[in-house]
Each structure stands twice: as structure tokens, then as C-alpha cells.
Amino acid sequence: MKIAVFAHYDKYNQVQEYVKYYLSQLSAVCDEIICVTTSALSTDDIQQLKLYCSDVILRDNCGHDFYSYKIGINAIGDLSKVEQLILCNDSCYGPIFDLKPMFQRMNVSNANFLGISALSRPQFHLQSYFLVFNQLVINSPQFKQFWQDVTILKNKDNIIRNYEVGLSQCLIKAGFSWNSIVPHKNYLLPWYKIILRKAYIYWFERKFTLSRYSWKTLGEPLARIDKTLSLYDYSIQKYQLPLIKKSLFSDNWQTAQQIIANVERYSNYPCNLFENK
């Protein structure tokens, strides 16, 4: 059985259309979806979620996505029946490609846990907006203990360090193998294009004090570059990146129109859903 836990939060206490689309596509590759939301949803919105989800759990808005993941995993109960567990959230638009080929690639992989993308900042980890675990991991004492130890943390940096990074590091230390759809290091892009992209981003972001990019990013190695952001268009073209991070629309080096044009160039995703950003 393939089960997904979907973490949801909406500041307007609604289920946006892009979320409904995401869940409709996810339901095509899963046996069950458990949605855990920290929003005060209306009865109508809950019923909309139940079109795709076997269970909808409402909880207080604390602990961010990892605590929602924990609540969803606990709701499964008997994990021995789960052959594949997916953890994902509503921080992305998409999928802009059919998920079935991606899961076929994952199924032939020898890896025990997989993600769409990986990052070596601050330490190696698979990014937690979309994670897949096989039965060996799901039923391991290390995996179960990790989730038992998850508590409510308020600071986002602590969540990233202890949980997003911590989960990958815990499983790697336990001897489990990993893989990612978008390559972590062997990314097929000429070095000069990477340098040009870094310079381009720095130029457009240099005046914004709150930008995630700085002059330091000019010298960062490939393993520390978030290829779902800085190289999102190449990742769509070369690796069929299926999800587009919502935070990309907050950057200054690309306009919404440019991002949407890149998606339209390679995908049939209904781009009117980006209007909900």
C-alpha cells in the first residue's frame, strides 16, 4: 500500500485551487492520502479535501510541516502495511508533469528513501517538501524513533537543522541509501552556464537586503545550490522537475511571467493556478 501524508496550511483558511489539483494528481499514484491541516477550514473545504483524501485531520497551527507529518504518520497506525510512504506539503505548485513516470524511476532505484531534490546547506539532506520511503525504512527502529522524538519547534532554522537535515542524517547513519530526481552533484549543465546564472541572480538580487541570495552565493559549489530555485528552468527541461516552489515567486531575479513562461514551454500544467500564489 502506498500512503501519502500531505501537510497543509493556508493563511486565508481556504483550500486553494492549486492544492486541489496537486491532490488530484497525487491521488492517481497513491492508495490513500492523509491530509493534516493547520488552517480553520470551512465544512465545504473539508469536503473538497475528502474528494481526494481518505482522512482530513485538523490541528492547531504550531510545529510547522514536520509536526503535521508526525500526526499523519501516527494516524496510519500499523506501518507494516505500508510499502511506500510519501511526505509532501503545499509549499509547491504542480505537479507540472505526470507523477507516474517519476514513481517508476523511483521504483527501479535501489535507494531506500528518495526526494525530488537534495541540498548540502547547512548539511546534506533531501528537501522535505516531497519525500518517499520504502518499507525497510518505514519499519526500521531509527525511523520510528525519529518521529517519536519530533516535538513542536517554533524556530524555522531549528526545524531545518533538527528535522529536515536530521531525518536524512539519521537514515544515512543507519545505513540506508538515498537518491534524488534532480541530481545532487552530477548535474548536467556546463560550468559557464552555472557561473552566468549565479552572476545574473546576484545582479538582480543585490539591492534587496532580505534576499536569500548574496555575494556569497557566487562562490558556492554545485552541491550547495538549490537547483529547484536558482536552476529551476534547467531542472524542468533536463530532469522534469515536477514541482515549482511557491517561494520562487518571491525572488527578484525572475518575474512571475518569466516563471510561468518556462513552465508553459515544457509542461501542460494549467498555469491559471499560479494566480493563487
φ, ψ for residue 9 (rounded to 5)?
-150, 135
The three-class DSSP label of residue 144 is helix
The predicted-structure confidence for 32-48, as pLDDT tens digits, reads as follows: 999 999 999 999 999 99
**What average pLDDT does the chain have?**
94
Handedness of CA 180, 246, 27, 95 (dihedral sign): negative
Q: Check pLDDT > 50 for residue 182.
A: yes
Q: Check pLDDT > 50 for residue 277.
A: no
The predicted-structure confidence for 194-248, as pLDDT tens digits, reads as follows: 999 999 999 999 888 788 887 667 778 888 899 999 999 999 999 999 999 999 9
Could you tell me which residues are beta bridge partners of residue 245? Answer: 92
φ, ψ for residue 180 (rounded to 5)?
-140, 150
pLDDT-derived band at 260 (thresholds 50, 70, 90) equals very high
CA distance linking residue 277 with residue 18, whole number of Å: 9
Q: What would you report as the CA-atom Rg of the chain, rounded to the nearest whole angstrom?
A: 18
Contact, 266 vs 237, CB < 8 A? yes
The percent of residues in the chain predicted with pLDDT above 70, rounded, is: 99
Instruction: Give the closest residue to 170 by CA, choosing from 231, 225, 126.
Output: 126
CA distance linking residue 152 with residue 68, whole number of Å: 10
The predicted-structure confidence for 56-66, as pLDDT tens digits, reads as follows: 999 999 888 99
Mean pLDDT, rounded, for 253-276? 93
Q: What is each CA distance from 18 to 126, 191, 269, 270, 274, in whole angstroms? A: 24, 35, 10, 9, 7
Q: Please name each of the domains of the chain with its CATH number.
A: 2-180 (3.90.550.10), 191-276 (no CATH)
pLDDT value of position 215? 64
Q: What is the DSSP string of 189-253?
A: S-HHHHHHHHHHHHHHHTT-TT-S--GGGGG--GGGS-TTTTTHHHHHHHH----EEGGGGG-SS
pTM for the whole thing? 0.95
pLDDT-derived band at 276 (thresholds 50, 70, 90) equals low
pLDDT value of position 34? 98
pLDDT value of position 250? 93
φ, ψ for residue 102 (rounded to 5)?
-65, -45
Q: Check pLDDT > 90 for residue 69.
A: yes
Contact, 214 vs 198, CB < 8 A? no
CA distance linking residue 240 with residue 101, whole number of Å: 10
CA distance linking residue 51 with residue 21, whole number of Å: 11
Contact, 36 vs 68, CB < 8 A? yes
pLDDT value of position 175? 97
Compute the residue count for the chain.
277
Point out the least confidently predicted range of 5-14, 100-109, 240-249: 100-109
Q: Cite the DSSP H helix spans in the chain.
A: 17-27, 43-49, 64-76, 99-108, 135-138, 141-149, 156-159, 165-173, 191-205, 232-239, 256-266
Q: How far is CA 274 from the centre of its chain?
A: 17
- For residues 83 and 211, the model is more confident at 83
Instruction: Give the closest residue to 187 by CA, choosing from 233, 229, 230, 239.
Output: 239
Q: Check pLDDT > 70 for residue 190.
A: yes
Mean pLDDT, rounded, for 240-266? 96
The predicted-structure confidence for 124-150, as pLDDT tens digits, reads as follows: 999 999 999 999 999 999 999 999 999
